[in-house]
Chains A and B, each alone.
Chain A
């Protein structure tokens, strides 16, 4: 080995011992596990894996569909990560998403004849209010009554989904929908802008901007510092004038608001109306992504894209290999397990 290459190798080794190495190991294990899963089930492992990658990122259409999935995952992940900064475990992204769609749609129905420049802000404000409400309620239950936020957000998820079912089957059902449980179609003024003639929409931009802003706020601002103090010791925080209770309400409200935006984006752009089955488990996926990212706002962005890709590319498993939908769930779980295991072991090793 020449002396010139030595520092490079040394640096490389150093990097490998750090996070880069962990990511490399995770990826390697996941690829091997996926290939093994395909092979066990009697499929052409390597070519199927290629199809899967192509299905997520292979061409502009596939990538656009990955980004369509990314938007709600990103926003619901933020809705989990922000409360986590205060030590709160919220699993309420799904319910907040539905409430956002519910209130946003309510605003659209109330102002349906208004021009877009009135309708659109009303719709967005409504969705944020709805999502925030479904965040504030568990926040209040926590601060006022001491109810554990994990269980209250969990229970409210089911309630939120049923409330949407109630309005689309009942009071808000479009009389001309031939009996189908859905509201009227949103007018053009209530359809969020889309990009490049794809279904990729403003929701993605909201998510990215929110992630960046939150990152700056939490790491750089006095308020963010307050969150850290509040979290490690509410009493110390209180003597410094930081109200733990108020912060609980703020992080839950802001988190809910973001998930609410995801909901109205799905209703407005993807469905053009409010109906049952608006989101298929984005809340849970968002929760996963937030934890995979270690509740780090900026890391959430690429991980949401990856997870969106994994979910969107699950199509190819069905299309090319006739593997049932459940195989995508198994792969998602495998990915999660591998990342958790490797990250935890890596962290433990570096602590020694």
Chain B
């Protein structure tokens, strides 16, 4: 029984670690999409954030400066999307893909000199009061700051979005730009902020990977997690609270893939590796039926984007 509990807790915390960067992206992208803009470029923003964060941490020796730099890099790259979409009126899907490729290229190009550098990671909760908690202490101890920050972002975003006037206008922009405009506000301003926030969160997610979790920079190190996060926004139904289970689902299936191997399950590792993609897809299949009429909570402004494929 104790073995079982321990293994379960191990898996849960492994899921949380794997899920954190994805969760940060899901939260940011959900906010972006709430304003009626979709940004597929988050994967590129994550990569540029990871590289910048790692490079700054390496040069300055301060990982927290790295995190800040990563957020700035994410915002900067997201502005390319903003200029294309809001400034030029370009198609959002296409613009996102351009940003994705640009971020991948820039991070690989400018990250090369930093490969193999050793940086100080952000540290963890070990040797604080947390690690003395019975049973859980062993698991809570290794938790790192980016995990906590990302978790705290959930209530913060939720309160902002659902309890503040600005949040209301943010949401109304996503439903109909005209409403915001009639209320005397400029919807473009909200969308710009939304894209920038998505950039900040994806840059932060990159830092969570490179400065915190692995303390390493490798070209293409996000391995598609940013793109998957854009998909998980739909699983999370654009709700910051649902973002947690959605990201955990991905994290858990990733951790399970490795855990099942260490338990000696006799299934090809290549088939096990499909779990992080098959499980979210299955959840979408199971949960969608009832929500079909409501579109699953998709902001109306976003639906227009999906229907304007030309």
Contact = CB atoms under 8 A, between A and B. Distances in A.
A150 B101 CA distance: 18
Contacts of A328: 105
B102 A333 contact: yes
B101 A284 contact: yes
Contacts of B296: 146, 148
Main secondary structure of the interface of B (DSSP, over half): helix
Interface residues of A, number: 49
B88 A341 contact: yes
A287 interface: yes
Contacts of B102: 329-330, 333-334, 337
A341 B84 CA distance: 6
A156 B80 contact: no
Given A155-B228, A165-B270, A87 B97 contact: no
A39 B295 CA distance: 50
B310 interface: yes
Interface string A323-342: 01111111011101100110
Contacts of B109: 324, 326-327, 330
Contacts, number: 151
A313 interface: no
B277 A158 contact: yes
Interface string A309-352: 00000000000000011111110111011001101110110000
A344 B89 contact: yes
A329 B284 CA distance: 33
Interface string A163-177: 101100110000000
Contacts of B227: 154
A152 interface: yes
A238 interface: no
Interface stretch (A17-25, A204-212, A265-273, A288-296): A288-296
Interface in A43-82: none
Nearest to A328: B105
Contacts of A334: 102
A107 interface: no
18 contacts: A84-B309, A84-B310, A146-B292, A147-B281, A150-B306, A151-B234, A155-B231, A156-B277, A158-B274, A163-B270, A284-B97, A324-B109, A330-B106, A333-B105, A334-B102, A336-B101, A340-B95, A341-B90
